[in-house]
């Protein structure tokens, strides 16, 4: 690390680099060149050179050290980003793989594997390349890539990543990625391509700093001739020292590091920022558009109750729900099966249901289930007693009667609005009353129907994510308006929004509503953030100022967004906004400290320069500094304050959920007053030390 950072920091001393990236430090470097030239080749008229060459050499060393400390801070920040890439590359090491050839294992190098090849990976071995599980069930340790502390279960058709380790059992994996196109390759590519162009706020700040620098150059240049005209002793090196002391070198030296640190800190949380613009925008974000499922809630709705309609029992609904979910491998479907089995609600004809035609859920239909023709009575397993066997289940009798009559059986489950368009035999008033009760209890109602007759409802509940209310409250405290968009009904949306303390909720939304909301808020002058993972989210992600795409999402979504979450956790948008706010708070604090520092340094160095020529300046020299030590002490403090603040620039000041006005006042009290007092104490201390050494 030391060698890389030092070499990079020295390379950044190139005036061409500074001219393009840091004008303030370029001016300091020009001052260094003038002072060094004066020390070695005294070409300037004698009346402007009042000190010995040794003083000029000391001054030159301090000036170039000031510039180097600034480039060093930037190099440290960039090294942290590069370190993540280097770590990921260590996971791309060549490993031996057990390729299956004619049913036998053949040892080959991972680089020789191609899509379609099958490999066997045993417990403790590294998965060579990305692929899909074709056989076996095992726990896979993904911590080195995703940061997940616990191994995750991988079974048939489950995606596995090269570089991860099989923790238990064994897996047969079909390779899906070509060489150089694995998940790791994509991560490395994203990080390496993540650039940090200057944002509007950063450009505005640099313009201000450059403008102040030009003013200071003009003032100091004029002072040279006015002082000479008035008969004061004027030294070119002293005036350069005064100029450097006045320049906002602290913020100028740390600004690049603050920007790079934003991308690096997101990278540690497995979020890839394609540029610094998104992080910067997050700091100014005042409207946050959030999806409900998976962002505000856990995203795993589970069945907790079967609610019958008037003519049916809980057992009837449980049996029909079991049948309608028999091919549903989602968490929702599995929870319905589990609840029905727990209560003993197993329907007849299970064997036929297992081979029945599956009706898959789609965004257009919003229902799923099974469809089959019962022509032969299926044998019911005696080891699993059912309500049907007791003769108490109306649904069981209905299914068996349809079986005898060789009639089609269609069992569906779906949303209220979608199912009401299809069913005929239903008491709609009773249905909507019971559905509203479910919604008022933060649940989602699901209709269960057999051949267009409604049997009852399933009560699904999706709990709020842990600490989500606290996170949203922190965001709202900074002045951000939160908006939740969901496809659920309005009652459920309102309950969840109230529980999570969301400002606005948009219910029964279609994908296009996200883009519409983003455009609507931007037209009002707001800075908008949002998350998404689908192709239909791509327009809104591209339009939003902060677009966070899930790595598990489509290529279109990831291309459109300016950030990608490798863990595919939508709630991380809250972390991005907090980091953006923290970045602005850090920059504001250091800017405040830098400017107040300059004011203090002005009152330490200017009186000392003219202390022997004017009673007025002698009176202002309250710290009793001698000319040479005052200049050296001021510039030493000016230089060392940059590396001392590097940890603050990289880590950032602590985020506080408070209004911008309160943050401004706190910055002024801590960094403003502190930045004014500290230079006087530090410069006097350095002056005493230098005087003792001399």
Q: What is the pLDDT of residues 631-656, one digit of tens each?
A: 888 888 888 888 888 888 878 887 77
Phi, psi angle pair for 180, to nearest 5°: 85, 5
Q: Answer for the pair 183, 128: CB distance below 8 angstroms, yes or no.
A: no
What are the extents of the domains in the chain? Answer: 2-84+196-266+578-693, 96-181, 287-298+465-567, 302-461
Burial pattern 438-466, b for ≥16 Cβ within 10 A else e, equals: bbeebbbbbbbbbbebbbbbbbbbbebbe
- What pLDDT shows up at residue 93? 59
Candidate list 117, 141, 284, 291, residue with the active-site label: 291
Distance CA 601, CA 595 (A): 10
Tally of residues, the chain: 694
Alpha carbon 237 to chain centroid distance?
Answer: 48
Distance CA 364, CA 268 (A): 39
Q: Does domain 302-461 have CATH number 3.40.1110.10?
A: yes
Q: Which two tokens stand for residue 456?
A: 């009852």
Q: Answer for the pair 390, 417: CB distance below 8 angstroms, yes or no.
A: no
Q: Answer for the pair 321, 457: CB distance below 8 angstroms, yes or no.
A: no
Residue 208's CB is within 10 A of a number of other CB atoms, namely: 14
CA atoms within 13 A on the CB side of 80: 21
Q: Which two tokens stand for residue 423?
A: 């069913």
pLDDT, tens digit, 9 for 90 and up, residues 92-124: 556 788 999 988 899 988 778 888 899 999 988
Fold (CATH) for 96-181: 2.70.150
Distance CA 493, CA 491 (A): 5
Q: How confident is the model at residue 307 (pLDDT cuts 50, 70, 90)?
A: very high
Fold (CATH) for 287-298+465-567: Rossmann fold (3.40.50)
589 to each of 40, 136, 258, 444, 670, how far by Cα in Å? 40, 56, 12, 47, 8
Report CA dihedral (479, 485, 490, 492) to the nearest 10 degrees: -90
**Least confident stretch, 194-208, 471-485, 651-665:** 194-208
Q: Which two tokens stand for residue 355?
A: 């081979």
Residue 320's CB is within 10 A of a number of other CB atoms, namely: 33
CA angle at residue 535 from 532 to 541, to 5 degrees? 45
Q: Is the entire prediction scored with pTM above 0.85?
A: no
- pLDDT higher than threshold 50 for residue 377: no
Q: Which two tokens stand for residue 66?
A: 């000031």
Dihedral-angle region of residue 667 (phi above 0 means left; psi in -120 to 50 means alpha; beta otherwise): alpha
Q: Answer for the pair 266, 272: CB distance below 8 angstroms, yes or no.
A: yes
Whether 291 is catalytic:
yes
Quick check: do 96-181 and 287-298+465-567 share a fold?
no
- What pLDDT shows up at residue 382? 41
Of 692 and 184, which is predicted with more confidence? 692
- What pLDDT shows up at residue 150? 59
């Amino acid at each position: 690390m030391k060698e890389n950072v030092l070499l990079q920091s020295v390379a950044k001393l190139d005036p061409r680099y500074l001219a393009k990236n840091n004008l303030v430090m370029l001016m300091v470097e020009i001052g260094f060149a003038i002072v060094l030239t004066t020390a070695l080749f005294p070409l300037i008229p004698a009346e402007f050179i009042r000190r010995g060459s040794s003083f000029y050499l000391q001054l030159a060393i301090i000036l170039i050290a000031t510039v180097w400390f600034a480039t060093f801070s930037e190099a440290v920040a960039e090294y942290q980003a590069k370190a993540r890439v280097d770590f990921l590359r260590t996971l791309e090491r060549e490993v031996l793989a057990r390729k299956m050839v004619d049913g036998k294992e053949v040892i080959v190098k991972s680089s020789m594997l191609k899509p379609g090849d099958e490999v066997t990976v045993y417990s403790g071995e590294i998965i060579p390349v990305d692929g899909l599980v074709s056989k076996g069930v095992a726990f896979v340790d993904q911590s080195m890539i995703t940061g997940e502390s616990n191994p995750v279960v991988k079974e048939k058709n489950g995606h596995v990543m090269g570089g991860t380790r099989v923790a238990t059992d064994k897996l047969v994996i079909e390779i899906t990625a070509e060489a150089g196109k694995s998940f790791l390759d994509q991560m490395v590519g994203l990080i390496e391509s993540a650039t940090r162009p200057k944002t509007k706020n950063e450009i505005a700040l640099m313009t201000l700093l450059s403008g102040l620098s030009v003013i200071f150059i003009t003032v100091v240049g004029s002072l040279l001739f006015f002082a000479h005209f008035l008969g004061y002793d004027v030294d070119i090196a002293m005036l350069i020292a005064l100029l450097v002391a006045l320049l906002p070198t602290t913020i100028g030296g740390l600004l690049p590091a603050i920007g790079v640190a934003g991308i690096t800190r997101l990278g540690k949380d497995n979020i890839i920022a394609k540029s610094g613009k998104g992080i910067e925008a997050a700091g100014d974000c005042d409207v946050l558009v959030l999806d409900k499922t998976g962002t505000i809630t856990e995203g795993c709705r589970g069945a907790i109750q079967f609610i019958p309609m008037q003519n049916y029992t809980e057992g009837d609904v449980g049996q029909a729900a079991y049948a309608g979910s028999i091919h549903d491998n989602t968490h929702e479907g599995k929870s319905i099966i589990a609840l029905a089995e727990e209560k003993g609600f197993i329907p007849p004809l299970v064997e036929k249901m297992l081979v029945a035609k599956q009706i898959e859920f789609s965004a257009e239909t919003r229902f799923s289930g099974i469809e089959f023709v019962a022509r032969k009575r299926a044998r019911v397993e005696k080891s699993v007693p059912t309500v049907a066997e007791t003769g108490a289940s109306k649904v069981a009798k209905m299914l068996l009667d349809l079986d005898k009559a060789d009639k089609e059986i269609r069992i569906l489950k779906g949303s209220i609005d979608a199912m009401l368009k299809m069913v005929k035999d239903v008491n709609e008033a009773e249905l909507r009353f019971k559905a509203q009760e479910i919604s008022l209890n933060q649940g989602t109602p699901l209709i269960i129907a057999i051949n267009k007759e409604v049997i009852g409802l399933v009560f699904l509940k999706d709990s709020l994510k842990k600490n989500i209310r606290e996170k949203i409250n922190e965001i709202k405290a900074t002045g951000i308006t939160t908006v939740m968009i969901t496809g659920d009904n309005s009652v459920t949306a309102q309950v969840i929004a109230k529980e999570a303390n969301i400002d606005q909720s948009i219910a029964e939304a279609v994908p296009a509503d996200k883009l519409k909301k983003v455009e609507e808020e931007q037209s009002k002058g707001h800075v908008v953030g949002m998350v998404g993972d689908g192709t239909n989210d791509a327009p809104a992600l591209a339009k939003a100022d902060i677009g966070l795409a899930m790595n598990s999402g489509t290529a279109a979504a990831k291309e459109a967004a300016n950030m990608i979450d490798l863990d595919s956790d939508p709630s991380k948008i809250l972390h991005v906004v907090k980091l953006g706010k923290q970045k602005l708070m850090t920059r504001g604090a250091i800017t405040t400290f830098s400017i107040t520092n300059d004011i203090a340094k002005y009152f330490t160095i200017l009186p000392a320069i003219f202390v022997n020529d004017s009673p007025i300046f002698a009176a202002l020299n309250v710290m009793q500094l001698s000319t040479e030590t005052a200049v050296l002490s001021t510039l030493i403090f000016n230089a060392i304050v940059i590396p001392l603040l590097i940890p603050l620039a990289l880590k950032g000041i602590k985020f506080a959920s408070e209004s911008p006005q309160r943050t401004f006042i706190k910055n002024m009290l801590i960094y403003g007053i502190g930045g004014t007092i500290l230079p006087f104490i530090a410069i006097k201390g350095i002056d005493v030390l230098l005087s003792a050494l001399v």
